[in-house]
Amino acid sequence: MTSATVHRHRTAMVRHTLSQPMSLAVRHGLIRPGVTVFDYGCGQGDDLRALAVAGVEATGWDPHFAPDISLQDAEIVNLGFVLNVIEDPAERVVALKAAWELARRVLLVSVLIVGAVPVDGLRRFGDGYLTARGTFQKYFQQSEFKVVLTQTAGVEPIALAPGIFALFRSPEDEQDFLLERRRGRRASTSKYRTDRRAKVLSAKPHLADRIANAIDAIAKFALQRGRLPHPDEVPSDVHDLLAAERVSFARAQDVSQGTRIDERLFERAAADRREDLLVHQALNLLNRSRSAYRPSPSMVRDIRHHFGSQQQFAEQTLEYLHALADPQRTAAAMRRAADNGLGAIDEDGRLVINSRRVVDLEGVLRCYVGCAVHLSGDIDHEHIVRLDPLRRRTTLFSLTAKRQPFPETSTSIMIDLKRQDVIIRDDPRVLVRKADVFGMASLSRQRSAEADRRKSGGYDEDRVLVRM
């Protein structure tokens, strides 16, 4: 077979839900109504239909399915699973450059990566494989793909998931995204907001009612960021409402503080934000993020408010990095996590934890997970995380049949921080200490089932994930 007989368009599938890169962009808030999207190599256009239903202005081009649509720039451009179907490496670079030129804010690029699909029986062709349907597939290494992106676009790509990256046009925008994403992993704190509303005591019911939307917006910001907002940092309709009611912004802040902001939660939000910023900056430095020194104005305000000055922020970040490099401190943090019921320490001293509980770890350990996420991107399903700071590895295990007392794993994604690479493999294991990993009560049925299994299976107490 020659290049001329590779049928690229046959790779385009019918989708009933958003593709993974589009759905990640929606979940991270990059795509939302009001943002323009262009899908470069849109296949049959199902992503575009789904976006349109949600009110997002989206259009796309495809050499086979939509050749007559003109290329146009947009805030977000998606180059979704296109490069891996192109058999000619030089042509991949042309497509990547063309898509990057159209992206005013972010280019999303995705490919299939090694291990995603079995290749047994496929014929090698160029640097990839030919399938029985006459299509070509190149499976990239995550690190190799990152190099292609960096060299072609000239900016450091941000991993969103294995094989899925975002390239930001502006460093400030990238910084805001990174910080919000790292914060986003604390999504469970949102329930505090709900509690707070239930407990609201209104000192000035009349005014508070009239400007309710404005004081809610101020309180929402305050409880996310641990400080009151600057007037620039609230939506314009807040100012419209205050102008209509003839209330100053400062007065609205006072009312919001008096009626909507629980002091304890405000302090907690400030402490969380301080730690988020430290973890964020430590990760920026560890990952040599090009945008580390270009915080957005809003982030600069956070830094001033929570640390006093950039200088003090830099000093505290260094402190953090020292803690990271100190195996005794990380080991102690892992032990504390296990003692607090957040996970289990295994036979090799590694911490095994459910991904949902990572947000509750101390900052030093969140940095480890953050480095892994930087290399691999987010893994969107729930999984088990094994932290191994001594060997500088983090491994993510996906569980099958999570409800079973002894769930099994199918694959693992090992992120090797030393080699800066991601390895996906079949990795069948049994989780024999689910109760510790999921934080179940000491008298639970699960714990006695585990004790029985240890006796009959002869596992020593320290095993957490046993190979099948």
Contact region for ligand SAM (CB under 6 A) — 27-35, 61-69, 119-127, 240-248?
61-69
From candidates 48, 95, 270, 342, binder to ligand SAM by CB under 6 A: 95
- Three-state DSSP state, 75: strand
Per the CB < 8 A criterion, the answer to whether 120 and 79 are in contact is no
Interstrand relation of 74-80 and 37-40 (parallel, antiparallel or unpaired): parallel
Residues present in the chain in total:
468
Report if residue 27 touches ligand SAM, rule: CB under 6 A.
no
Q: Which stretch binds ligand SAM (CB under 6 A): 8-16, 240-248, 404-412, 445-453?
A: 8-16
Which of residues 64, 186, 193, 268 is near ligand SAM by CB under 6 A? 64
Contact between 395 and 352 under an 8 Å Cβ cutoff? The reply is no
Binding residue (CB under 6 A) for ligand SAM from 86, 178, 334, 424: 86
Out of 18, 37, 38, 41, point to the residue binding ligand SAM (CB under 6 A). 41
Contact segment (CB under 6 A) with ligand SAM among 23-31, 76-84, 204-212, 279-287 equals 76-84
Q: How far is the CB of 54 from ligand SAM (least distance, A)?
A: 17
Please say which residue, 91 or 348, places its beta carbon nearer to ligand SAM.
91
Tell me if 12 contacts ligand SAM by CB under 6 A: yes
- Per CB under 6 A, which region of 38-46, 153-161, 282-290, 436-444 contacts ligand SAM? 38-46
Question: In angstroms, what is the minimal distance from the CB of 60 to ligand SAM?
Answer: 8
What order of strands is seen across the sheet that includes strand 123-125? 123-125, 128-130, 136-137
Q: Is 168 helix (H, G, I), strand (E, B) or coil?
A: strand
* Residues 310-349 within binding reach of ligand SAM (CB under 6 A): none
Which stretches of 89-170 are DSSP H helices? 89-102, 142-153
Under 8 Å CB-to-CB from 160, ≥6 apart: which residues?
Answer: 21, 24, 25, 28, 108, 166, 377, 378
Q: What is the CA radius of gyration of the chain?
A: 25
62 contributes a contact to ligand SAM by CB under 6 A: yes
Quick one: which of 31, 77, 80, 179 contacts ligand SAM (CB under 6 A)?
80
Residues 6+ apart with CB under 8 A from 134: 1, 5, 6, 7, 10
CA distances (Å), 123 to each of 7, 131, 133, in order? 15, 7, 12
Q: Between residues 20 and 420, which has the closer beta carbon with respect to ligand SAM?
A: 20
> Which candidate, 142, 106, 137, 133, places its Cα nearest to that of 119?
137
Stretch binding ligand SAM (CB under 6 A), from 35-43, 50-58, 416-424, 429-437: 35-43
Give me the sheet containing 58-61, strands edge to edge. 58-61, 37-40, 74-80, 103-110, 164-168, 158-161
Q: Shortest distance, CB of residue 178 to ligand SAM, whole angstroms?
A: 25
User: Which one of 81-89, 118-126, 287-295, 444-452 is the stretch in contact with ligand SAM (CB under 6 A)?
Assistant: 81-89
Q: Map residue 119 onto helix, strand or coil.
A: coil
Element (H, E) at 217: helix 212-225
Q: Answer for the pair 44, 12: CB distance below 8 angstroms, yes or no.
A: yes
Give whichever of 39 and 450 is closer to ligand SAM, judged by the CB atom. Answer: 39
Which window, 37-45, 331-339, 349-357, 443-451, contacts ligand SAM (CB under 6 A)? 37-45
Least separation in angstroms between residue 163's CB and ligand SAM is: 12
Take residue 164 and report the two structure tokens written for it.
């899925």
CB of 320 to ligand SAM, least distance (A): 39
**Cβ density class 5-35: b for 16+ within 10 Å, e for less:** ebebeebbeeeeebbbbbbbbbebebbeeeb
CB of 18 to ligand SAM, least distance (A): 9
Taking the complex as a whole, the smallest distance from the CB of residue 139 to ligand SAM amounts, in Å, to 13
Show the site string, 152-191: x = touches ligand SAM by CB under 6 A, - = not.
----------------------------------------
31 forms part of the interface with ligand SAM (CB under 6 A): no
Give yes or no for a contact between 84 and 139, defined as CB atoms under 8 angstroms apart: yes
The residue count for binding ligand SAM (CB under 6 A) is 21
Q: How many whole angstroms separate alpha carbon 126 and alpha carbon 139?
A: 12
Q: Does 63 interact with ligand SAM (rule: CB under 6 A)? A: yes
Whole-number Å distance between alpha carbons of 193 and 39: 36
Among 6, 11, 100, 373, binds ligand SAM (CB under 6 A): 11
What's the token pair of residue 122?
Answer: 């496929």
Find the binder of ligand SAM among 24, 28, 38, 43 (CB under 6 A): 43
By beta-carbon proximity to ligand SAM, the closer residue of 62 and 436 is: 62
CB–CB of 161/172 below 8 Å? no
Q: Is 102 an interacting residue with respect to ligand SAM (CB under 6 A)?
A: no
Stretch touching ligand SAM by CB under 6 A, among 4-12, 150-158, 169-177, 382-390: 4-12
Residues that bind ligand SAM (CB under 6 A): 8-9, 11-12, 15, 19, 40-43, 62-65, 80-82, 85-86, 91, 95
